[in-house]
Amino acid sequence: MGGAEYAYEPDRSWRGKIRRRAVRAVGRTAVGRTVDRPIVTFSFDDAPLTAATSGAAALERRGVTGTFYLSAGLGGTSGPMGPILDGDTARRLSEAGHELACHTYTHLDCGQARGEQALDDVRQNAEAFESWGLPRPTNFAYPYGDVSARCKTVLAPSFDTMRGLHHGIVSRRSDRHQLPAVGLEGADALTVGRMWIDRLVDRGGWLILYTHDVDRNPSPWGCDPDVFEELIDHTIARGAEIMTVRSVVDLLQIG
């Protein structure tokens, strides 16, 4: 769900559920193009240290890279998903070819925040990236997968893509300001991941997978390292290509 390190809980009321569904119809901008082969992105929200070590290493051993959605304000802190990476680790990831993307600075709930508050928060994250010696992030994921219509509209000009948490495969009709994604979380991670990878290969398109920690004793929002590696190998065995969000954006000439 993103942001498990916080005691804060996003709006789970029936009004919140209706708003989350309704906002998907607001401010839509279609991707407009489709990939000519099945592509999978492996991504990590919040970037616990285990994602930057076990998760990144699993990808690197196979010659591929992932996308890390960072809330720089969490850097060096710790919580239920374990320690969060710091600036030195983020630089190593960038140097290894991984994409460092934006998840707000404070892990802000964009479903509840004011538009200018959200904009200031992502600006602060970009400044933190600069202080860490990282490129300015060009892709974004909503913390908790939540966003209001106002925040979505205000943030859209700042990023090539913005990612939600609703399940689906990215097609040319998908909204690049609220892309679908599938979580690799908990006991069902292997089953869910294999199902969506197989569905992607059968139908074509772009599948964004996300998780949080990659640990032998993962949090409810994380993934076991053996499961994570099996899903990478299943992707490769099925003939799908593994790319970062930024690389797919470049391929599709989004933005």
Domains of the chain, first to last: 38-252 (3.20.20.370)
Token pair in block for residue 39? 């592509």
Interval 116-175: pLDDT, tens: 999 999 999 999 999 999 999 999 999 999 999 999 999 999 999 999 999 999 999 999
**Of 166, 227, 235, the residue nearest 198 (C-alpha):** 235
User: What dihedral do alpha carbons 168, 65, 152, 36 form, nearest 10°?
Assistant: -50
**Nearest-5° angle of CA 136, CA 103, CA 44?**
100
**Of 98, 73, 57, the residue nearest 3 (C-alpha):** 73
User: Which pTM does this prediction carry?
Assistant: 0.94
Interval 60-83: pLDDT, tens: 999 999 999 999 999 999 988 999
User: What distance in Å separates the CA atoms of residue 195 and residue 156, rounded to the nearest whole number?
Assistant: 31
